[in-house]
Structure 1
Amino acid sequence: MLSLPTTPNLVTQAKGAEDTHARSSDFGLRQKVAEDIRHACLTAGFFYVKNHGIPEELPLEAVERSKAFWDLPEKKKLETPLLSANVNPANRGDLYEKYGISWEDENGNSGVREGDGAMLGQNIWPADMPEFRTAMLNYYHAAVKLGQALFPLFALALNLPEKFFDDKTTNTAAMLRILHYPPQTGVVDDGVMGIGAHTE
């Protein structure tokens, strides 16, 4: 399990081993964290991050504000770019709502550059819900900051220079999506479900 304490250092805690600081001035210690990440990805396929530095209230506030958004009348929600999908063509559609945001600074600038492609664009926020925008962006920026702290470790895990990803992650293409699965009432159609079988 990769552990990020409240101090600026990242640490990984291997069972029976001492904490190894990923931002230590000792390259050997950072390399050890990267090796732990590599091992986790090649064996279990994933790892957890704890003590990640994201304040607990940020995701909780984002969840509460997202509930308020999903409770809006459908006409009001459709003023924003709600996304639809059918991830399994064998079904007749996915029964969920999805809203996504991408990079935006505190002044509302998206940082979109010509040639950035479809993954980046200006966010469209619901009218008269400034608390929703604030909550989403607060959590988004905290998560992006965590991702930026992990990239040097990913580089080392791939036997690349530690700063390999620095110039490739300047304008992040990270997206934050909130999902809502409305309840199904009455006769349930087996061809329509929350979301069909898929891979990430």
Structure 2
Amino acid sequence: MAAPGSAADTSAKANVTALNCISLSEPNIQKSISLLKQACLDSGFFYVIDHGISQEFMDEVFFQSRKFFDLPLHKKMELFRNDKLRGYTPIADQTLDPKNQVQGDFKEGYFIGVEVHEDDPDTKKPFYAPNQWPSEDILPGWRRVLEQYHKEALRVSRAILKIIALTLDLDADYFDKPEMLGEPLATLKLLHYEGKISDPQRGIYACGAHSDFGFIALLATDDVTGLQICKDKDAQPRIWEDVAPLKGGFIVNIGDLLERLTNDVFRSTLHRVVLDGRERYSIPFFVAPKPECVVECLPSCASEMNPPKKVSFCRNQLLLGINRLFSVVKINLILI
């Protein structure tokens, strides 16, 4: 294990980064394509606004999230996450940067995936299952609100991936294939960060440095600053920049799978959460293809100067990446 903070900057303080902002109601699609492509080449992070989810509904989602995390711990532990990645994850359940962390992330969460009926044959697959839901007696209306938000976040994700497809000289519907967004692994996670001060030099983080695995991730957050990104993950020491919250908008980042699809033209970006002692609530939404999807270099991303990488992703690599991100179980790696 590396010394805590050895790959981090010497201070938790960071400059605020400037991110491109993409409006989903922008009539000039070429403007959106240009802004999004620049963002994917520069940092892999950007804002999305005008997405069609009202502020009133977003406020309700955050209200319901707080109601769950306000429950006594024993009530939350009754819904402890299962091996299909559904349910509650307590404080320090994840350690996303074990080389630099001395203890787990100071956050608790709740996973909600695509709802699959218990009699559906798909339940035999990894990560396909019914969700765990608090009872209506404890949290009335909670399931209805969160299921609606899952549906809306997936709709927004599909709209963003249409623009990404256009930046890659593909048809806008390229990612709508059955093995991709037709049956995606779309996972919503409610997060609550304790009011504990982060100390990178001592290896203490609200959330350790990591990149997200799938296609893209949408992040809705409150007004507490804490998210930081490192645009060059190979730099030593790493240089971290703050990402300012954007009320009414999403912070969106591309994941490792999209990096692989684009032959490393677009790069996934390390990010972490460093807090000053204030509580923080956020809601990430992760979008990945179904496990059967084979991911290989897009034709538009290969050239004589940048030939396709020799290793492609297969089903078990997809599962391994998801497990790496969510720290649940281990699955063997098979290359094709």
**Which TM-score tier does this pair reach, normalised by the shorter chain?**
0.7 to 0.9
Distance 1:177 1:114 in 2: 21
Q: Shift of the alpha carbon at 1:147?
A: 1.1
Q: 1:45 to 1:112 in 2, by over 3 A?
A: farther
Q: Shift of the alpha carbon at 1:35?
A: 3.2
- Between the two proteins, the alignment pairs up a number of residues equal to 172
2:221 aligns to what? none
CA contact (8 A) 2:95 2:104 kept: yes
Write the letter of the residue equivalent to 2:40.
C
CA contact (8 A) 1:3 1:50 kept: yes
Q: Shift of the alpha carbon at 1:123?
A: 0.6
CA contact (8 A) 1:98 1:179 kept: yes
1:79 aligns to what? 78
TM-score (normalised: structure 1): 0.73
Distance 2:124 2:159 in 1: 23
2:42 aligns to what? 43
Write the letter of the residue equivalent to 1:164.
Y
CA contact (8 A) 2:114 2:186 kept: yes
Q: 1:118 to 1:99 in 2, by over 3 A?
A: same
**Alignment match of 1:196 (pick from 190, 203, 208):** 208
**Alignment match of 1:153 (pick from 139, 151, 163):** 163
Secondary structure at the residue paired with 1:49? strand
1:98 aligns to what? 109
Q: Shift of the alpha carbon at 1:146?
A: 1.0
Deviates more, 1:108-117 or 1:46-55: 108-117
Q: Shift of the alpha carbon at 1:76?
A: 0.8
CA contact (8 A) 1:91 1:196 kept: no
CA contact (8 A) 1:95 1:182 kept: yes
**Same amino acid, percent of matched pairs:** 33
Stretches of structure 2 lacking an aligned partner (at least 5 in a row): 1-20, 82-87, 213-336
TM-score (normalised: structure 2): 0.46
Bigger strand share:
2
CA contact (8 A) 1:103 1:110 kept: no
1:52 aligns to what? 51
Q: 1:54 to 1:87 in 2, by over 3 A?
A: same
Q: What does the per-residue CA deviation read over 1:83-105, in whole Å, with 9 as the maximum and x for residues that have no partner? A: 2211232412222211010123x
Write the letter of the residue equivalent to 1:124.
Q
Bigger helix share:
1
Distance 1:53 1:39 in 2: 24
Stretches of structure 1 lacking an aligned partner (at least 5 in a row): 5-9, 12-18, 21-29
Distance 1:116 1:152 in 2: 31
Q: What does the per-residue CA deviation read over 1:97-132, in whole Å, with 9 as the maximum and x for residues that have no partner? A: 11010123xxx7589763884343321011232321
Q: 1:159 to 1:177 in 2, by over 3 A?
A: same
Q: Shift of the alpha carbon at 1:77?
A: 0.5
CA contact (8 A) 1:91 1:191 kept: yes
1:175 aligns to what? 187
1:133-144 matches, cutoff 5 A? 133-144=143-154
Q: Shift of the alpha carbon at 1:183?
A: 3.5
Are 1:123 and 2:134 counterparts? no
Moved over 4 A (4+): 108-113, 190-193
2:175 aligns to what? 165
Distance 1:156 1:173 in 2: 22
CA contact (8 A) 1:110 1:123 kept: no
CA contact (8 A) 2:117 2:129 kept: no
Q: Shift of the alpha carbon at 1:193?
A: 4.4
Larger radius of gyration: 1
Distance 1:118 1:194 in 2: 28
**Alignment match of 1:2 (pick from 10, 22, 40):** 22
